[in-house]
Amino acid sequence: MSEYIKELEKRKKELESALKSAEKFMKKAPEGRLRITSNGEGYPQYYHVTKTIGSTGKYIKKKDRHLVETLAQKEYSNVFITRVKQELAMIDAILIHNKSCPAESIQQLMHEKKQTYITPYIQDCPLNVREISESVAEMLCYNN
């Protein structure tokens, strides 16, 4: 198996684990979002914005700063989950396509007589593509 395939599978496991953690956090995250402004002296002021409170939000006192951290983490988690799902979809597409038809196997799909005249750019072929039905192999390699 190619090193980059191993690295992609390792990355996939890492992302899946992180995704589970983020989704678990989101299940218990409070409603609403965090709004930050500065007072006249430049000090930040934190507000908890919800549908019921309105767009200005309710001021978060110093003693409730854990809510600030939780709401900030919630915003990060929302973006993180979206990006991780996109990256996982790309990794899955690469892994599926590569396992079906790695670039090293293209020569094996060509006519036997043509193969004698070809110098492959990559010599190491980890999979025997002949095991894949010709129709599937053609669809994956020639149409993409």
pLDDT digits (tens, 9 = 90+) for 111-131: 888 888 888 777 654 444 334
Spans of all domains in the chain = 1-100, 102-144
Contact indicator for 46, 68 with CB cutoff of 8 Å: yes
Global pTM reads: 0.69
Cα–Cα distances in angstroms (integers) from residue 50 to residues 21, 62, 68, in the given order:
24, 19, 14
pLDDT digits (tens, 9 = 90+) for 22-36: 999 999 999 999 999
